[in-house]
Amino acid sequence: MGNLSDRLEFVNAVVENDRTLASSAQNAANAYRTERSQLLNLVDQQTQAVRELNGQWTSLQAAFAKQRGIADSLASKRSQAESLTTHLNDQVAQLEALVSSLKIKLTQEQQAAANPSPSATPTGNPTPTGDPTPTQSPTENPGGSGSYGPNPLSFCPVASPHAFGDSFGAPRRFDGPHAGVDILSPMGTPVVAPYSGRFQQNHNSLGGNAYILTGSMGWAYGAHMSAYAFSAPSANVTAGEVIGYVGNTGDASGGPTHLHFEWHPNVLPAHLYRSAYGYTLIKGAIDPYPFLLQVC
């Protein structure tokens, strides 16, 4: 009887222990479900926050790209404005030099009319038949004493109509001070050899359709022509022969049509002419302005 009682007590203890374990397991399961639900809610909240942050980041990137585009556009417009300003300054300088030249010519003509001289040289373009010689009248040098030397030019480099001023040394965008004189003329006006010599085409990015003409006293450089008069890259030409046509090729594209003309003498004059911009010599070139006044 005692054994049975012990066994019943043991079974009851086991059953009670199972109930306790089952209750603990149920409580643990309930706690797990509660915590899992809370974690899932937290994940949803974080996912939503990430979506919102991604949206804000995308908006910020779009706003930044827009602002960068505006900045690039403003920089481009500023560069264009600076380039246009420089170009306009160049044109103003040319026009001022042209006005100065016309005033000088007008004053000279008025003085000649008021004091006629039987030995005065007739007005108009000279029409010599050969190369100039050192016996030509020297060009006076307003910038100093002495003379500028004999005129190497027997023809104006550009046929009529044309106009020019002393633009030697004027500031330029790409290649430093202006090493020549710009002779303004309509598109297609003939460009002629100012003296006899060896003609060579010299096409380049700055000068466009350019040439070099080598003579007995030095060499001349002309630029921005619309076309050459003949296809041969080089040829012997005589003074007054057409070698090309006025244009605005090279870095003069879009600007007024003209011939850029430089003179590089073999021997520098004893007294260099000083231009309106204060220059006497630029890269081996001297101011051709006083020579052009005599033949143009």
pLDDT of residue 123: 34
> CB under 8 Å to 97, separation ≥6 — which residues?
164, 165, 166, 167, 170, 276
Domain-wise residue ranges, the chain? 1-90, 124-296
Average pLDDT, the chain: 79
- Asked which of 43-47, 186-190, 202-206, 237-241 is least confident by mean pLDDT, the reply is 43-47
Which of 2.70.70.10, 3.30.2130.10, 3.10.20.310, 3.40.50.300 is the CATH number of 124-296? 2.70.70.10
For residue 225, the cross-strand partners are: 209
- In the predicted model, is pLDDT for residue 111 greater than 90? no
Tokens for 292, please give them.
Answer: 């052009």
Instruction: Give CA–CA dist 17/23, Å, rounded.
Output: 10
Site of tokens 């004053």 = 107
Is residue 209 a contact partner of residue 228, using CB atoms and an 8 Å limit?
yes
The whole-number average pLDDT for the span 180-185 is 95
Q: Which amino acid is present at 267?
A: V
Is residue 154 a contact partner of residue 239, using CB atoms and an 8 Å limit?
yes
Tokens for 127, please give them.
Answer: 């029409």
pLDDT of residue 91: 61
The whole-number average pLDDT for the span 225-235 is 94
In this prediction, what percent of the chain has a pLDDT beyond 70? 73
Of the candidates 268, 251, 269, the one whose C-alpha atom is nearest the C-alpha of residue 260 is 251
Instruction: Give CA–CA dist 123/170, Å, rounded.
Output: 29
Site of tokens 């397991």 = 25
